[in-house]
Chains A and B, each alone.
Chain A
């Protein structure tokens, strides 16, 4: 005889008790699962996108300098690099060449083209992201055709396909040599897309940004923190919007679950009376009700989380696409790298499983404290 056996016996009885009210409990579990699924999808999605964004921005330089012409971004003269480098406190200044290429030959994909600092291949060879290769149905050593700025078609040999640490970072990326990039887009030799720089003392970032703006009035320095803040605000806002949309269904569920959990039917009261009359203690009845609430809420929670995980990471959050996606620089058909934030999942657990289980126990406690002789008069 042991406490474990006792719990097992009570759990066995709880499960057969749940099966007795199959329809009701199945409906409850279904709705519960659906709510956890929706909330968890929103949380997982926002969290994964933020993680992707932080990966993108991990190696971003402290300041990016863009040139604006009539309020639009224009090419930056390469001579600006030396002028910025002359500002005290600035280190590692370099011009970058990057841009977008709309590929209508393969279903209208939008690629990001970039010239990396160090590129191990000769002109005529490119390195592509996994999605680019998949989308264009190409492999290493295949030729990938591009329509140049002058209307001619140029083929570049694929030298390598990038590993997918972060799909968002590399999925749509194409790396190429500087001469190839310039000739493809027709960018003059003395101009770059933007300039990036590092600052020795992080406290000085704002001051240096001001100095650059004063020295080169046609430029716009963008500080990394601003980008991070923007990303964060955009994704937090979108997740919040989604949760606001879901708030109605969550509230409806809370009312439904509260009503289901707190109200005891005459049949349930009778059952509690019988259990007490045949020798169950109040504590045993509460243990049974605890297991009942825990089985329903825990299985719904786990099912909801598993479905949300599959929805977000395997089905690209199809249901939420219209609301939460659409960030212009995101690849339109990217797949998020699976990541789960334990504290957020724990918070979700505590706002779903715990209240429901407690709500199940309270009315049973009231019913279980009555004298068992009531059962003699049923």
Chain B
């Protein structure tokens, strides 16, 4: 269970360009379910995902993960939580060019000091699972959009996180690939993983595997959604 309590995020505080991305958001996300934050561009979905995923700190408010307040943890501990508990699938996939898909997938595990052979075997297992085993040794920039996304998903799963966070995962995919993505999400759900998605794509938030849709607008959760 992840609890978000009165989270505010203000960028450029005190300056002429001060901007409030989140204006007191509170909600809870159940474990093992698929939760979608729905809303238009600029509504604060990505900021909320960043804060939940320990990539940014709120200006005020708290995020409680399995009963532990993670908001005020020092950077090292926050990184540890991010690495162990969350896997990220970014809107632009953010694969590193010039290295292979396999290396991209293994990247999050490098600092953990795991033996390379074991790590590689696990990464190749994920390629198998996501049906892209033949693309593992291909350079990242030579992959198609759908393959890139699967590689990004494999990377998110390499450290066997409890929660997968995906930011606008279907923004660069056609309908077929978007449905395939949702099938993968369904598979993760069956494995007991928690999935949090930010999207304004109906193919995502209207999917039957989604347990809960939370509407976000102007940095707030719309009434009736908490």
Contact = CB atoms under 8 A, between A and B. Distances in A.
A371 B103 contact: no
A375 B46 CA distance: 11
Interface string A5-22: 110111011001101110
Contacts of B125: none
A278 interface: yes
Interface string B70-86: 00000110010011000
A21 B109 CA distance: 23
B55 A277 contact: yes
Main secondary structure on B side of the interface with A: helix
B97 interface: yes
A13 B56 contact: no
Interface of A: 1-6, 8-10, 12-13, 16-17, 19-21, 270-271, 274-282, 284, 371-373, 375-378
Contacts of A9: 106, 109-111, 113-114, 116, 119
B110 A10 contact: yes
A138 B99 CA distance: 62
A5 B113 contact: yes
A309 B99 CA distance: 37
A6 B113 contact: yes
A8, A20, A276, A279 — which one has the most chain B CB atoms within 10 A of its CB? A279
A340 B96 CA distance: 44
Nearest to B159: A279
A286 B155 CA distance: 22
Main secondary structure on A side of the interface with B: helix
Contact of B99 (A1, A16, A276, A277): A16
Contacts of A271: 96
A20 B108 CA distance: 19
A278 B84 CA distance: 10
B205 interface: no
A281 B108 CA distance: 10
30 contacts: A1-B112, A1-B115, A2-B113, A3-B113, A6-B110, A6-B111, A13-B103, A16-B99, A274-B94, A276-B79, A277-B55, A277-B88, A278-B88, A278-B155, A279-B108, A279-B111, A280-B108, A280-B111, A281-B76, A281-B111, A372-B55, A373-B50, A373-B55, A375-B55, A376-B49, A376-B55, A377-B46, A378-B90, A378-B92, A378-B94
Chain B interface size band reads 35 or more
Nearest to A267: B97
Interface string B93-107: 010111100010011
Contacts of B114: 1, 5, 9
Contacts of B167: 376
A209 B109 CA distance: 78
Nearest to A9: B110
A282 B116 contact: no
A17 B82 CA distance: 24
A281 B88 CA distance: 16
Contact of A5 (B50, B88, B98, B115): B115
A284 B111 contact: yes
Nearest to B82: A279
B217 to A, nearest CB: 19
Closest 10 A/B residue pairs (Cβ)? A279-B83, A20-B98, A6-B113, A373-B50, A373-B56, A9-B110, A373-B55, A278-B108, A5-B113, A1-B113
A274 B116 CA distance: 21
Nearest to A273: B94
A6 to B, nearest CB: 4
A288 to B, nearest CB: 9
A275 B107 contact: yes
Contact of A20 (B92, B97, B109, B112): B97
Nearest to B139: A20
Given A16-B103, A277-B55, 11 more contacts: A5-B115, A6-B112, A9-B106, A9-B111, A13-B107, A20-B97, A20-B98, A271-B96, A371-B55, A375-B94, A376-B50
